[in-house]
Amino acid sequence: DGNDLGIRVDPKSNKIRGQLLDFPQIMLKRPTIPDKGNFIIKSHIYDQNASLSNWMIVFNSRDEELAFQFAHKLNECSKSLGIKVNKPKMQGISIAKDAKSIRDDEITKAIEKNAGIGMVLVFLPKQNADRVYKKVKVYCNQVAGIPSQFFTNWSFKFTKNIENLSVASKVLMQMCAKMKAKIWKVQTPVDVNVNGHQVMIVGADVFHKSMHESVTSVVSSYDKDFCSYYSQTSVQKRKGDDTLYDIAEKVKLAARRYVKENKHPPNIIVVYRDGVGQGQIESVREKELKSLIKGLQQEFNGKAVKLAYIIVTKRLSDRFFVSVQGQLDNPQGGLIVDSEVVKEDQFDYFMVAQAVSRNQGTATPTNYNVIYNDTDLKAETFYEMTYFQCFSYYNWSGPLKVPAVIMMANKQALVVGSTHSKDNRDTVESLKDGPFYL
């Protein structure tokens, strides 16, 4: 209240108004509402035609029993998920007695020998796994053009307990997602449904890592349900460069994929741009936004395709708390703060999408700064679209801190950037239609 310096702090000065969005409906075979934001998939997934067929398991011959047990466990959990799992081709690799693990060239030769398979699952012990993983990923993504899954969980005990079925279920759903199955669908904002908006959502990021090339990553939705995504990457000419110089070309290709799927272009494109600091926003306006607007006009012959460009900032010192029975606590997921602490002359908002329990620490918000918007979408529609997107990442059954397109762009950039081959080969085109990097 007061002190020797005569300074008084208004006890209400840190109180601001926010709003809580309702949890979205999650569509599986039977719709469900998340409990505190999270949900457990125990019933059939959304895609009634999902299957794992024409696939192969590659393993060290010494681990044959383990590989067969895991194949059986995948088949066991497939029934409750409504996924058809065919018997895999089992490819054991015999290695020398003094060798600790199978080599990457032995794995790639096994895949090459079985041309035409649709998915490969590789059993790999953790020792030496990183080097082998990178080389096999490069081969699968840039040469063979098949999705791949690696299993290194050697603490897995093959019993009938629920925990092990859960591990197998997650691996199975991840594999099916890479093969373009729709594991679940999140409800779409009311405004999008009612007013006939054809929306394409885009996530964009740039990957930087020591000793690796800088890689741009763009992921875009191409179906009306926001369940199917087209993924693109490219190598920056200069390491460490954050500017997406080719954003116009990538969004044009994304729009063409949308047209191929829907037989009409999107009339609204919403771009979530990650990895931009406050000091870079003007550069983004000049080098990315202007070229994108011009590119869309060229692509659609001047037809009205509306655009929103949103800067996503994750690293913030801001914190928001709610008062529960006189005690401060983390907000439940879906908190929106769009007044008092936002910029008066701009459209920006904070969101705490993820649910964080008190013993996990404090929930950190994400800031969304809409630096360009010529759409007729309401502010509430942006809030809902952003929040619902946080539930659409198939590697996590609950809300993320950021929209799924951002998480997928991050993940694709990490996988491609970390495994990128020096000859600058691109990902095989057939893989770009699905999240091969999950």
The per-residue pLDDT for range 87-110, each reduced to its tens digit, is 999 999 988 777 777 889 999 999
User: Using CA atoms, how far apart are residues 108 and 128, in angstroms rounded to an integer?
Assistant: 16
With beta carbons less than 8 A apart as the criterion, state whether 237 and 277 touch: no
User: Using CA atoms, how far apart are residues 413 and 216, in angstroms rounded to an integer?
Assistant: 7
The band of 269, judged by pLDDT with boundaries at 50, 70 and 90, is very high
How much is the pLDDT for 322? 78
Which amino acid appears at position 76 of this protein?
E
The band of 2, judged by pLDDT with boundaries at 50, 70 and 90, is low
Tens digit of each residue's pLDDT (9 = 90 or more) over 172-230? 999 999 999 999 999 999 888 767 789 999 999 988 876 677 889 999 999 999 999 99
User: Using CA atoms, how far apart are residues 310 and 272, in angstroms rounded to an integer?
Assistant: 5
User: Using CA atoms, how far apart are residues 319 and 3, in angstroms rounded to an integer?
Assistant: 26
User: Using CA atoms, how far apart are residues 349 and 371, in angstroms rounded to an integer?
Assistant: 12
How much is the pLDDT for 162? 46
- Report the relative pairing of strands 199-207 and 119-123 from DSSP bridges: unpaired
Mean pLDDT value of segment 356-377: 87
Pinpoint the alpha helices (H) of 239-328.
Answer: 247-262, 281-284, 290-299
26 bridge partner residues: 32, 186
> Residue 174: left (phi > 0), alpha (psi -120 to 50), or beta?
alpha
User: Using CA atoms, how far apart are residues 405 and 226, in angstroms rounded to an integer?
Assistant: 10
- What is the overall mean pLDDT for the chain? 87
Query: Taking the CB of residue 336, how many other CB atoms lie within 10 A of it?
Result: 24
Tens digit of each residue's pLDDT (9 = 90 or more) over 176-187? 999 999 999 999
Give, in degrees to the nearest 5, the angle at Cα 267 between 261 and 269.
Answer: 85
Q: Which residue would you say has higher pLDDT here, 222 or 352?
A: 222
Dig out the tokens for 157 from the structure. Answer: 């005990």
Which amino acid appears at position 21 of this protein?
L
How much is the pLDDT for 229? 97
Helical packing angle, 64-81 and 162-178, nearest 10°: 80
Pinpoint the alpha helices (H) of 207-349.
Answer: 247-262, 281-284, 290-299
Q: Which residue would you say has higher pLDDT here, 129 or 142?
A: 142
Q: Which residue would you say has higher pLDDT here, 415 or 254?
A: 254
C-alpha distances (whole Å) from 215 to each of 225, 284, 326 are 28, 17, 48
> Residue 39: left (phi > 0), alpha (psi -120 to 50), or beta?
beta
Q: Is the pLDDT of residue 272 over 90?
A: yes
92 bridge partner residues: 59
User: Using CA atoms, how far apart are residues 74 and 200, in angstroms rounded to an integer?
Assistant: 34
Tens digit of each residue's pLDDT (9 = 90 or more) over 145-176? 999 999 886 555 555 554 566 888 999 999 99
How much is the pLDDT for 164? 61
- C-alpha closest to that of 223 among 190, 267, 257: 257
The band of 359, judged by pLDDT with boundaries at 50, 70 and 90, is confident
